[in-house]
A and B are shown apart, each in its own frame.
Chain A
Amino acid sequence: MDQPKISLDLILANIAAEAEKAQDTVTKASEVLLGPLETAMATTPYDVVYEEDRVKLKHYRTPGDVTLKTPLLVTYALINRETMLDLQPDRSVVQTFLNSGIDLYMIDWGYPTRQDRFVTIDDHINGYMDNIVDYVLEKTGAPQINLMGICMGGTFCVIYSALHPEKIKNLITTVTPTNFDTDKGLLHIWMRAIDTDKIIDTFGNLPGDFMNLGFLLLNPARLMIDKYVGFFENMGSKSFVENFVRMEKWIFDSPDVPGETFRQFADDFYKKNLLIQSKLEIGGKRVDLKNITMPLLNFYGMYDHLVPPEACNLLTKCVGSTDTEDITLDTGHIGIYVSSKCQREFAPKIIKWLRERDGEGRPVPVSATNETVGEQPSPAPPLKRPARPEAGKKPARPARPRPTRKEQTIKPSLTQVIQETI
């Protein structure tokens, strides 16, 4: 038998050092865990300005003046909660938007109960979303709104924009699945394998815990073992523990998905892939992606295991708009919103893109410093909104700067690519 070529003394010395380090971590950890911890999420102040059933509309308080004429409505998925965009003060997409002068609204889908089991996708899009959009238009007097969707919320936004294009000025989709005919993500394989009708007939709604278990099983080695090993290693760091707990709170804050909505999402989207083929019907109307003629900015993560790039990158090729842009970030599904690196790239890019398309034929000038990695874009001077056009009339769209179809793969730095493009 071959003898290992490493001395036993060295191994023992390392074990001793590791033990000492572990003891030190445990001592610090007890101080951290027993002391006060700041783990509150979504602390940016907002007002609930509209309520319908379980659905609420949050309107965030802008710290300074509103500098973008068009308000932005963010639509989150029905899976997990929109609090992810405002996880902690220094990693908050919400705060970045507000600091740059965006008038920000966000839909809070609430916690569906058994009472909501019959609520369909049509009710969400042509009901709640449409009523909210009408409310924002009415309240702000803006002729159109900017719409931004996240994951399944992005899919809703795509459908909404195709059905009500006259109300949407610019569309931003982030990690949004639109092409479900791919085997790249395990979720796509599993969703096609399940008997949706049986699940819904049994549970009524799709239970949040059930979904969470499914997500954990996508990568048990990392999500059920390695993640917590990492936690034990860093328990001595207060900020690490606080961030970790915030993330845990967000991950397991998982509302149920209304039964009928899930049934249709699994059958028409995952199993039949109707949306990308413009064959989907919502509320008796066909969702034709060619109706999406407004500018479209499409973000997705290169290493997203839930919504792989293949599920996102066909959209810009199928819509009717000529002003489209694909941006690939070298991160996963959640990293786009919460990683420090993406915080410097993701939200500032959206702000810049919106500013360029906000004016009437003039992009709002953005100073060079705004594009510097790590700095928040400074707000432009306050603007007055134009009068809303007559009801039923499609507003004249302002001339857009540089209608182009772009594809970007940002690795390692998004900012460099943006600057080169400019």
Chain B
Amino acid sequence: MMTLAKRQQPSHFWVYLSPLLAIALTLATGSLLFALLDVDPLHALTTFFITPLSDTFGVGELLIKSTPILLCALGLSLCYRAGIWNIGAEGQLIAGSISTTLIALAFIDSNTGFSLPLALLAGMLGGAVFAGIAALLKYQFNTNEILTTIMLNYIAYHLLQWGVHGPLRDPNGFNFPESALFDANTILPILLDGTRAHLGVLFTPIVLVLTWVLLSKSFAGFQIETLGLSPLSARMAGFSSKKIGYSVFLLSGALAGLAGAIEVTGPIGQLVPQVSPGYGFAAIIVAFLGRLHPVGIMLAGLLMGLIHLGGELVQLELGLPKSITGIFQGLLLFYLLSCDVFIQYRLTTQPGGLLHPKKTQKVT
């Protein structure tokens, strides 16, 4: 009988193997799902994961999809490393898109060059303020950040609906719930001809390097790590958990806000009722799948972008619902969390494991 036994040391091998195994298991379950739906699994998986990347346009689309996910995930990884459960990237992204729109609409007729950087900064500010609310609630009133950030997600969503149906609606837009199209000066320029890849995709590598430096090469990163691993040690060392907490909240909010700013000044070009198809939630999975490490997050983020892109394509080509993306996302996280058991435990045929514990021995 196979059982699980606690390892003396956590396994580094499994730290890396577990995400790969989780991806493989997700693909296997996906094939099964496609087979159940009477779709040739090989054809479906090819449509999902290979076809989108077969031309330059597709690669551009992948970069566009991955950019907001990666920006959110890199921000969230800072929070999660500090042991703070910020689930609010979606709301912070929406808040960023709204504040960017305010600037973009203010500059709609003026022909200036600085409206774009100003709009992006406004987005970062909007996201940071929104995350700041959650930080304030946590550190001034001791409220659970999981619940408050979730509630703020819903509040941001309704704020967006109010905006596009009310004050931000295009007065010449035949009553459609959309803002006016932004001026060309407030739109991110296209990077590659023949694609929709815009200047915004270049922000990700910059943020990636900065996050890596912050986490691996700075004292602040050490403080974040310490707080996350052992709040007590952080306190003994004299690190202020409040200061670190506010910093990571505001930083991750600013990055999610930037993601929102990039969406409305990039591929969308105006404020619409549905700014994000759940990028903020996908980012949570990406942060974990990437092991909270910038390089891992980059790989996981590209995969997640591909899942979003592939989901749209199977909808178009095979007529399957787009929500299949959500199923893949959920499965991925389940399998990852399950495979992670092997980091701390190993399979053994000896008794004394997790599933079949040894009877308590008498103390002599």
A and B: bona fide binding partners: no
Residues of A within 8 A of B (CB): none
